[in-house]
């Protein structure tokens, strides 16, 4: 299996589905007559990132995973989003960036050594291990937390709002 299959389509699908969550968030806020932007700063615990930062972190995990495993430098995003419209633009930018990757870019990615700024100094990890033990779990951690923040605040989301677009046959 080429690691492209475990990254670009998975990240793209899940980042796109966040727009559907945002649609439901806006509809919910309108039905309850409050500003939906308030939920961007909602969190489950005082020491946890708010919804907005959870989504930004999921975006970062997706772009860095693909870039690092392909031996490229990913784009920097300053995390300045403050509105739903700006968050949607961030999602679009990252999905568009993921669309620049090709299967060939991932040739040898499983064995390519990956380094990241948050790793201990001088340490690296095999690309396959990076994906399995860091990138994918961290990506889903942030998206699951974002989903739970919205659910906790009353937005009507179900399991298939997270799983979305399952390729049933």
Distance CA 156, CA 150 (A): 8
- Range name among 5-9, 36-40, 115-119 with the lowest pLDDT average: 115-119
Split at pLDDT 50, 70, 90, the class of 147 is: very high
CB neighbour class for 163 (10 Å; exposed up to 12, middle 13-18, buried from 19): exposed
Of the pLDDT bands very low, low, confident and very high (cuts 50, 70, 90), residue 106 is: very high
| Structure confidence at residue 110 (pLDDT) | 95
Q: All domains of the chain, ordered by start, with CATH?
A: 8-162 (1.20.120.450)
Give the pLDDT score at 68.
95
Q: What is the pTM for the complete model shown?
A: 0.94
Residues in Cβ contact with 3 at an 8 Å cutoff, skipping those fewer than 6 apart: 69, 106, 109, 110, 127, 128, 131
* Band of residue 164 on the pLDDT scale cut at 50, 70, 90: confident
Q: What is the pLDDT of residues 10-64, one digit of tens each?
A: 999 999 999 999 999 999 999 999 999 999 999 999 999 999 999 999 999 999 9
């Amino acid at each position: 299996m080429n690691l492209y299959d475990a990254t670009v389509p998975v990240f793209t699908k899940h980042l796109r589905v966040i727009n559907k969550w945002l649609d439901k968030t806006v509809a919910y806020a309108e039905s309850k007559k409050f500003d939906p932007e308030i939920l961007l700063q909602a969190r489950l615990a005082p020491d946890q990132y708010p919804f907005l930062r959870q989504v930004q972190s999921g975006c970062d995990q997706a772009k860095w995973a693909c870039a690092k495993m392909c031996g490229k430098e990913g784009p920097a995003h300053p995390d300045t989003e403050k509105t739903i419209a700006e968050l949607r633009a961030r999602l679009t930018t990252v999905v568009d960036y993921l669309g620049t990757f090709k299967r060939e870019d991932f040739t040898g990615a499983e064995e390519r050594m990956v380094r990241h700024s948050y790793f201990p100094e001088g340490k690296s990890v095999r690309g396959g291990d990076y994906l399995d033990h860091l990138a994918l779990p961290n990506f889903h951690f942030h998206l699951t937390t974002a989903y739970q923040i919205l659910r906790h605040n009353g937005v009507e989301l179900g399991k298939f709002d997270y799983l979305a677009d399952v390729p049933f046959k």
